[in-house]
């Protein structure tokens, strides 16, 4: 028997010969404020429980102008890096009794635009936005209209919105220093999507680290155009057919590394011996590869949590100054980088 007539305040009110307002007040804990007798209170609560009353959040939100909902816009939820962030966002939001509407933009700016519009149409109170990152025009609205939003991971230079991201520059800088300290000088950089901030910052870190060690960067060693594994594979094959002298690969994402590794295996190159590799984004499996891959880990969980926290600060206090946060990365040394010459050890400190 489907109970098709859903329970509302009205249902309860009628059964008890009360008004909806009274019922509402009781269930919202405003009994004292409005002097509802404890007999009535009990009756209302009992009936609500008996009928399994679930308040209609739509009506509530409409009236209150508060939806207790955040929008989460993400380029690809199946990417573990993003999924980890999504998880901590959801958990942190739930702690505040907020729900998450999820939009996967499939790395398409068009879908991103549509998603933001949709979410605003659904009256989310704020947005956690992981932008595709190559365009920002559509986001300036958010800025000018002062809509609560926190940008995560990829931020956009000409946009003054609060963001939280890894300190990609520093992470890359340190990683390359590590390579150099292991006597690598011919280091290829397998980059992700050019024009996106993590990529640009990492490339910059790569270049600066080289220069800090008086190694003239060879721009031809910077290859690639996406964070995916196919790029890693293609570029590695291409590169090694041209530049046989490369001794190390610096992959700017774990997927790129995965592709590169496949190429290396096909080329019968032993990782950590014939060629070294080091990549961004630690993932559980990287510790189990043979050899285990040395990585630059990002604090994904912290990133999500912090984003939500910054967003709530905006919601609570509209005049708060917009903060930007760069989270430190963590270098995880494993066995994929060979020390070419144990003698040589330089000091290494970043420029910025």
Q: Which positions lie near DNA, rule CB under 7 A?
A: 6-10, 13, 17-22, 24-25, 27-28, 30, 34-37, 39-40, 53, 55-56, 59-60, 62-65
Shortest distance (Å) from residue 207 CB to a copy of itself: 28
Half-sphere exposure of 323 (CA within 13 A, CB side): 15
DSSP characters over 134-167: S--HHHHHHHHTT--EEEESS--TT----EEEE-
Nearest to 250 by CA among 196, 341, 188: 188
CB of 35 or CB of 347, closer to DNA: 35
d(CA 343, CA 352): 28
Task: Say which entry of a copy of itself, DNA, none residue 22 contacts (CB below 5 to 8 A, set by partner kind).
Answer: DNA
Q: DSSP alpha helices (H): ranges in the chain?
A: 9-16, 20-27, 38-50, 57-64, 80-95, 109-121, 137-144, 168-181, 197-212, 229-242, 254-266, 300-316
Taking the complex as a whole, the smallest distance from the CB of residue 71 to DNA amounts, in Å, to 18
Q: Pick from 329, 302, 315, 283: which is nearest to 89 by CA?
A: 302
User: Toward DNA, which CB reaches closer, 119 or 252?
Assistant: 119
Tell me the per-residue interface mask from 70 to 99 with a copy of itself, x by CB under 8 A, - otherwise: --x---xxxxx--xx-xx--xx--x----x
- Judged by beta carbon, residue 20 or residue 215, the one nearer a copy of itself is 20
**Lookup result for tokens 């510790």:** 287
Residues 146-165 that bind a copy of itself (CB under 8 A): 146
Q: How many residues bind a copy of itself (CB under 8 A)?
A: 56
| CB 95 to DNA: min, Å | 21
Q: How far apart are CA 128 and CA 239, in angstroms?
A: 38
**109 contacts a copy of itself (rule: CB under 8 A):** no
Using the rule CB under 8 A, which residue among 33, 121, 245, 268 binds a copy of itself? 121
What would the x/- binding string for a copy of itself be over residues 236 to 275, using CB under 8 A? -------------------x--x--xx--x----------
Q: Tell me if residue 329 falls in helix, strand or coil.
A: coil
The answer to whether 249 and 236 are in contact (CB under 8 A) is yes
The answer to whether residues 281 and 258 touch, using CB atoms and an 8 Å cutoff, is: no
Q: Which does 25 bind (CB under 5 to 8 A by kind): a copy of itself, DNA, none?
A: DNA
Q: For the chain, what is the radius of gyration of the CA atoms?
A: 27
Pick from 101, 246, 81: nearest CA to 166: 81
Q: Which of 19, 42, 62, 242 binds a copy of itself (CB under 8 A)?
A: 62
Binding site for a copy of itself (CB under 8 A): 1-3, 54-59, 61-62, 67, 69, 72, 76-80, 83-84, 86-87, 90-91, 94, 99-104, 106, 117-118, 120-123, 144-146, 229, 255, 258, 261-262, 265, 283-290
């Amino acid at each position: 028997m489907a109970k098709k007539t859903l329970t509302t305040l009205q249902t309860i009110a009628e059964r008890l010969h009360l008004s909806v307002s009274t019922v509402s007040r009781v269930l919202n804990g405003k009994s004292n404020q409005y002097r509802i007798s404890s007999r009535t209170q009990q009756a209302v609560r009992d009936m609500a429980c008996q009928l399994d009353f679930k308040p209609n959040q739509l009506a509530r939100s409409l009236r209150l102008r508060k939806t207790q909902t955040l929008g989460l816009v993400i380029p690809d939820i199946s990417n573990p890096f993003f999924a980890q962030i999504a998880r901590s966002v959801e958990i942190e939001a739930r702690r505040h009794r907020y729900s998450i509407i999820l939009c996967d933009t499939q790395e398409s700016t068009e879908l991103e635009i549509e998603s933001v519009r949709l979410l605003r149409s659904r009256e989310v109170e704020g947005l956690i936005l992981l932008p595709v990152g190559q365009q920002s025009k559509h986001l300036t609205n958010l800025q000018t209209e002062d809509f609560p939003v926190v940008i995560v991971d990829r931020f956009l230079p000409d946009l003054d919105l609060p963001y939280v991201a890894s300190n990609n520059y520093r992470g890359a800088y340190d990683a390359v220093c590590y390579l150099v300290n292991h006597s690598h000088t011919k280091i290829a950089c397998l980059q992700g999507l050019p024009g996106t901030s993590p990529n640009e910052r990492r490339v910059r870190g790569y270049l600066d680290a080289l220069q800090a060690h008086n190694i003239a960067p060879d721009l031809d060693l910077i290859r690639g155009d996406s964070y995916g594994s196919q790029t890693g594979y293609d570029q590695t094959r291409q590169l090694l057919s041209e530049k046989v002298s490369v001794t190390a690969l610096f992959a700017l994402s774990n997927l790129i590394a995965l592709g590169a590794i496949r190429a290396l295996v096909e080329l019968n190159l032993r990782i950590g011996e014939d060629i070294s590799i080091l990549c961004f984004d630690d993932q559980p499996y990287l510790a189990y590869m043979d050899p285990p891959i040395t990585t630059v880990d990002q604090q994904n969980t912290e990133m999500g949590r912090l984003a939500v926290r910054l967003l709530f600060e905006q919601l609570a206090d509209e005049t708060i100054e917009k903060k930007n946060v760069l989270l430190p990365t963590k270098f995880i040394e494993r066995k994929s980088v060979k020390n070419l010459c144990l003698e040589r050890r330089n000091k290494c400190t970043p420029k910025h």
